[in-house]
Amino acid sequence: MDYEVAEQLVQRARRLAAERDMVITIAVVDAAGHPVALARGKNWHGPYMAFGKARLAAAFRKPTDQLLEQWADRPLFAESLTSVLPGGVTLNPGGHPVTDGDGNCIGAVGVGGGSPDQDALIARLTVESEGSA
């Protein structure tokens, strides 16, 4: 994930959120969960939440809402990830992996600032609109 792609994702997410009268925080990480870009919303905790969602999506190469559904009957597994994965993760919808043209995960986005469903929608639309990256 290079900075130029990350910046495009940030701008796309902010545009999609503004169309829905939302103010969001958007974080972009590389495939290893390292920070690449951030645009802060209005809440002080937004960057922590958004980076945590992005790291979780990057680690498992799946949207966080799908992961939470997958782990619904194993809450201790999900909880253990908060101390196992470097940098910490956020166990909430709003993270979505980003793939290249060959389907390889190159990173993820994390969105915070709306409801869980809104965050998941903005993250998904950010990645899916105009192709993945």
CATH code of residue 82: 3.30.450.150
Query: What is residue 130's predicted lDDT score, i.e. its pLDDT?
Result: 58
Domain count, the chain: 1
Per-residue pLDDT, 131: 53
45: in domain: yes
Residue 90's domain spans which residues? Answer: 3-128
Chain segment 2-15, per-residue pLDDT in tens: 999 999 999 999 99
- Residue 120 confidence (pLDDT): 98
- Give just the sign of the alpha carbon dihedral 38, 13, 7, 66: positive
- Position 104 pLDDT exceeds 90: yes
Helices 116-128 and 3-19 cross at an angle (nearest 10°) of: 130
**pLDDT computed for residue 129 by the predictor:** 83
Q: What is the pLDDT of residues 8-56, one digit of tens each?
A: 999 999 999 999 999 999 999 999 999 999 999 998 999 999 999 999 9
22 inside domain: yes
Q: What is the pTM of this model?
A: 0.94
Residue 122, pLDDT score:
98
Q: Is residue 133 part of a domain?
A: no
**Which position has the higher pLDDT, 131 or 90?**
90
**1 close to 119: Cβ distance less than 8 angstroms:** no
